[in-house]
Amino acid sequence: MATGAGTQPVLRLRGVVKRYGAVTALGPVDIDVERGEFLTLLGPSGCGKTTTLQIIAGLTKPSEGRLLLSGRDITELAPPYRDMGLVFQSYALFPHKTIAGNIAFGLRMRKVPKAEIASRVGRVLSLVGLPGVEDRYPHQLSGGQRQRVALARAVVIEPSILLLDEPLSNLDALLRKRMRLELRDIQKRLGITTIFVTHDQDEAFEMSDRVVLMNCGRIEQVGVPEEIYDRPVSRFAAEFVGEASLLDGRVVESAGRDVLVGIGGLRLRATSVGPEFRPGSAVILMTRPERVEITETDALDVCEVTVGKRVFQGDRVLFDLVTGDGQTFHCSLPSVERHRAIEVGRKIGARFHECRAIPCAA
Amino acid sequence: MLLAPLGLIYLLFLLAPISFFLAVSFLKYSATQLYTSTPTLENYQRLLFDPFYTRIILDTFRISATVTVITAVLAYAMAIELFRAGSTLRGLMIFAAVAPLMLGVIARSYGWIVVLGQSGLVNRVLLATGLISSPITFIGTEFTVIVALVHFMIPYMLFPIFSALAGQDRQLVPAASTLGARPVRAFLEVTLPLSRPGVMMGSALVFTLSAGSIVTPTLLGGRQVAMIGQTVYELVMSTFNWPLGAAAACILVLCQLVVMFLYLGRARHAG
Amino acid sequence: MPAEAEILPLAQLASPIRRPAIELTGFARAGLAMLVMLLYVFLLLPIVVVVSSSFSPTRSDSYAWSQASLRWYYEFFAAPNFTSALWFSLWLAAVTTVVATVIGFISAYGILRFLGKRRRTGQSLAMLPMMIPHILISLSLLLALTRVPLPELAALVIGHVLICLPFTIAGIVASLEGVDPDLEAAAYTLGASRPRVLLEVTVPLVAPGVLSAMIFAFIVSFGDVDIALFLSGPGTTTLPIEIFSYIQWESSPVVAAITTVQIALVVLFGLFVERLVGLKTAMRI
């Protein structure tokens, strides 16, 4: 991450709300964006991430709240003056202008002299890997190429902030994977503060310095990808990011953050994701499928479960492990012989590592 | 707001004048002024009860209805052929159907005068083949007016019917045929009923346009044919009887609105 | 025997999807085709006859081709009443087109970009003049002239603009719909002011559609009868009305010549529209 101690966040959202009539679509939302970081707004459709981006760009006015860019209040400022580069999901390349014309557009609006425009256009096209296409038209380029041109157009004006609205959704899977790396690479080279919007959790994790997880217009959790994956603060966060087994249980014992959770006949050790739970409180026990170990030994922390379902997935084998009282754990094991040999209906011992205790929804 | 100019124009130049016009139909006529300010119903009474005018109104209806039915049948036939045609032929057919529209009603009426006149094409052909011994007078008859109106209205009927046909699921008729329906049956039971909305729309449009026609009956109908449109023209431009003319125009518009509402009502049911 | 009877229906089932949706047996098919051909002859007959008689050397319309003459065309262009009516019609159509297009553009933009969900209502309301019989429009305007001190010419222009507006608005809306609003947003975020956005992005992209809407408006105004019938006056008579008065007293092939010139103009315009936007798209109004 590019934050140094004492640097002010380059963008701050304070109490931003967006209402449509009686419906509150977004907010209140507070976000700090650090200089040079790659921040992703992640969430399902309708969670408010695109609305947030539009408010940042100035295309939508917030019903309440303020935006501060490098300390300056830009809430009332119109988009042309915000010094931001926006890459649209549909790329929005001007069909009647050449690639050079498209990229030069922002430079022309800033009254950059002609000679300089030409050289900057050339340089940015090389940066995105498309040298020499200046005189072509958008319809002559492939989807992937158009996407790079859209990026070039937004980046050539050297904005304070680069905004990307699901720019990779219209690409096929292979191209998408490649573009993720290239995009991140370009961002790092330019050191440009970037806000990225996506609903794809893998994408968010692969590319971001930090992730803002959103749901129903509010921020669910903010943090580095590992933190969200390892310590999701809610049921939604646990389920949206990766696979999870979520079971309802009760705290039997607690010592600070460490708790012992009772589920049916089982007793499982877990770490709280945040609050300190008191014995007797209801919690959600979360474990990730890859953190389950099948064992023959008979130790205290080994639970006896019955194998419910079995799905062979090539490099992994997936199982549903059912407890004595009917609760189900999802389990994902490497596809080695002794795992592949496990049959449905067999009783086996399972050890659940790194369980987390999540508060039930308020 | 960007829509202010449009709203203003429609309000000032469309709605206001029309309301005023409507109001005048309820005023008393005077030979010395265009209209007085005495409210009365006598204009409408005259139009609806004086046999001279009732005949005109009924004739207008009769002619419009005849035109509508004939046009519907002919346009339907054309729509079927249009539908079955390949795309190049179809483009040509559409253009040929629409081109006459762009000429304007006067030019086309003149065309009919040339074709059906005393020394016109039809008469000359009939005389030459010996089918008749002296020229038939076409101009000045209701027949000619109907022919010319049908000629004028076919494009207006053709396109709604054609879209209705084109919009049908292409597999319905093959499905009917696998169920045992022969082509004519399939047409009568599947295609025709489903195209009804198009036929209704075309009919409403054609009826409305025919009822309001002025030029065609004037040029081709002569003394024999009197339709409401011509009456309005004469009342306003020759006699300067604005109240009566306005009432006649309002009756015409009312009938057109009724037809439109009937169509819209039926269309909602059919959906 | 039974075996063959069974095979036949199965063969019919073989390719159900390829068959045309309206099936006709041989007899009906031939009959229908003939009927429609006759109909096309019917449709085009007056036009053909008129064009042909415009070249006739005498008043009668039967002549041998070797005798074809342009005398009626000369008479048309020499007749002051017709030529001044022609110029007036052209002038009127031009003025109407410009006004209807400007207002149409503003209104179309407003409808598409600012009405959101109420867009359909806005579009239907914009079509108002098309739903009102033209006689009513012109009569009302004529009547309004008795109370409002406007020159009759103004009422004529207004009447024409009114009947052309639905065409320009519908045409420009259709064209504008094809312009991705993201394009305008992109230009905006890149630093262009709103007028700049219109100039550099919106207008160039809708130009072909606007042009074809203008041509439609021109044709509608030029060919109008219902409005001009009541609002024409001495010195402000349109060509169709001039012909109308003329025909009621005389019937000479001069009218045929004028009509043929009109046909040529319309065909020319039609070709122009086809090159710009494609007739099919333009007619989706």
- Each domain of chain C, given as residue ranges in start order, spans 4-56+63-283
Round to whole Å and give the CA distance between A282 and C112.
Answer: 53
Predicted TM-score (pTM) of the model is 0.75
Which residue in B114, B119, B65, B134 sits closest to B220, CA to CA?
A: B114
* Chain C residues lying within 8 Å of B117, measured CB to CB: 251
**Matching residue, tokens 């992005």:** C201
C190 contacts A106? CB cut-off 8 A: yes
Q: Is residue B30 included in any domain, yes or no?
A: no
User: How much is the pLDDT for B237?
Assistant: 86
Residues paired with A23 in a beta bridge: A20
Whether A167 and chain C come into contact, CB under 8 Å, resolves to no
Q: Which of the four pLDDT bands, split at 50, 70 and 90, describes residue C43? A: confident
- Residues from chain B that touch C109, judged by Cβ atoms under 8 A, are 2
Higher pLDDT, B139 or A195: A195
| The predicted structure's pLDDT at residue C64 | 60
Q: Could you tell me if residue B38 is inside a domain?
A: no
**Chain B residue numbers touching C62 (CB-CB < 8 A):** 119, 124
- Position B24: which residue type? V
Q: Mean pLDDT over residues C54-81, rounded?
A: 77
Give, for A74, the enclosing helix (H) or strand (E): none
Which pLDDT value is given to residue C284?
47
Q: What is the ipTM for the molecules in this complex?
A: 0.79
pLDDT at A66: 94
Question: Which of C40, C76, C140 to mutate to probe the B interface, most B CBs <10 Å?
Answer: C140
Burial class (CB in 10 A: 0-12, 13-18, 19+), A304: middle
Say how far apart CA A327 and CA A62 lie, in whole Å: 45
pLDDT for the residue B36: 77
Evaluate if residue A300 carries a pLDDT over 60.
Answer: yes
The answer to whether residue B108 is domain-embedded is yes
pLDDT category of residue C269 using cuts at 50, 70 and 90: confident
Contact C137/B177, CB-based, under 8 Å? no
How many other C-beta atoms are found inside a 10 Å radius of the C-beta of residue A205?
18
Q: Above pLDDT 70, what percent of chain A?
A: 98
In a domain, residue B148? The reply is: yes
pLDDT of residue A6: 56
Q: Which of these ranges, A125-129, A158-162, B41-45, B231-235, has the smallest mean pLDDT?
A: B41-45
Q: What is the structure's pLDDT at C6?
A: 39
Contact (CB<8Å) C191/A96: no
Containing structural domain, residue B212: 51-270
Say which range, A74-78, A123-127, A258-262, C116-120, has the weakest mean pLDDT: C116-120
How many domains does chain B divide into? 1
The CA angle A319-A322-A325, to the nearest 5 degrees, is 170
A81: nearest CA in chain C?
C191
- Interface residue A303 vs chain C (CB under 8 A): no
Contact residues, chain A, for C191 at CB < 8 Å:
80-81, 106, 109-110, 157
Query: Does C229 have pLDDT greater than 60?
Result: yes
**Closest chain A residue to C204 measured between Cα atoms?**
A96
Q: Cβ of C247 and B119 within 8 Å?
A: no
Angle separating helix axes A114-127 and A99-109, nearest 10 degrees: 120
Measured between beta carbons, which residues in chain C are less than 8 angstroms from residue A58?
189
Q: Which of A79, A90, A95 sits opposite C188 (nearest CB)?
A: A79
Q: Which of C20, C53, C114 shows the shortest C-beta gap to B114?
A: C53
Tell me if B110 and C255 make a contact (CB, 8 A cut-off). Answer: yes
Note every long-range contact of A67-71, with CB atoms under 8 Å and residues 24 or more positions apart, other chains counting.
Answer: A67/A11, A67/A12, A67/A13, A67/A14, A67/A16, A68/A11, A68/A12, A68/A14, A69/A10, A69/A11, A69/A160, A69/A161, A70/A8, A70/A10, A70/A11, A70/A160, A71/A8
CA distance to partner chain B, nearest, from residue C236 (Å): 16
Does the pLDDT at position A156 exceed 50?
Answer: yes
Q: Mind listing the pLDDT tens digit for each residue in C151-208?
A: 889 999 999 999 999 999 988 998 888 888 899 999 999 999 999 998 999 999 988 8
Q: pLDDT band at residue C285, thresholds of 50, 70 and 90?
A: very low
Average pLDDT, chain C: 82
Query: How near does any CA of chain C get to the CA of B50, in Å?
Result: 23
Q: Per-residue confidence at C11, pLDDT binned at 50, 70, 90?
A: very low
As a whole number of angstroms, the distance between CA A99 and CA A124 comes to 12
| pLDDT given at position C16 | 37
Assign 3-class secondary structure to chain B.
Answer: CCCHHHHHHHHHHHHHHHHHHHHHCCECCCCCCCCCCCECCHHHHHHHHCHHHHHHHHHHHHHHHHHHHHHHHHHHHHHHHHHHCCHHHHHHHHHHHHHHHHHCHHHHHHHHHHHHCCCCHHHHHHHHCCCCCCCCCCCCCHHHHHHHHHHHHHHHHHHHHHHHHHCCCCCHHHHHHHCCCCHHHHHHHHHHHHCHHHHHHHHHHHHHHHHCCCHHHHHHHCCCCCCHHHHHHHHHHHCCCHHHHHHHHHHHHHHHHHHHHHHHHHHHHHC
Q: Residues of B with CB below 8 A from C135's CB?
A: 212, 214, 229, 232, 249, 252
Mean pLDDT score of chain A, rounded to an integer? 90
Within 8 A by CB and 6+ apart from C241, the residues are: C85, C225, C228, C229, C232
User: What pLDDT is recorded for position C1?
Assistant: 40
Per-residue confidence at A207, pLDDT binned at 50, 70, 90? Answer: very high
Rounded to 5 degrees, what are φ and ψ at A10?
A: -75, -30
Q: Looking at residue A303, what is its pLDDT?
A: 83
Task: Flag if A92 and C180 touch (Cβ within 8 Å).
Answer: yes
A106 in contact with chain C, both atoms CB, cutoff 8 A:
yes
d(CA A95, CA A93): 6
Of A78, A86, A96, Cβ closest to residue C186: A86
pLDDT score, position A277? 87
Per-residue pLDDT of chain B (271 residues; tens, 9 = 90+): 788 899 999 999 999 999 999 888 888 887 777 777 778 888 888 888 888 889 999 999 999 999 999 999 999 888 888 887 777 788 788 878 877 776 778 888 888 888 888 777 788 888 888 877 777 778 778 888 999 999 989 988 888 888 888 877 777 777 777 777 777 777 777 778 778 888 888 888 888 888 888 889 988 887 788 898 888 988 888 888 888 889 998 888 888 888 877 777 766 555 4
> In angstroms, rounded to a whole number, what is the distance separating the alpha carbons of residues C272 and C270?
5
CATH number, domain at B125?
1.10.3720.10
Please indicate whether, in this complex, the C-beta atoms of A59 and C196 are within 8 angstroms of each other: no
Q: Which fold has domain C4-56+63-283?
A: MetI-like fold (1.10.3720)
Preferred mutation among C10, C43, C56, C72 to probe B, highest tally of B CBs within 10 A? C43
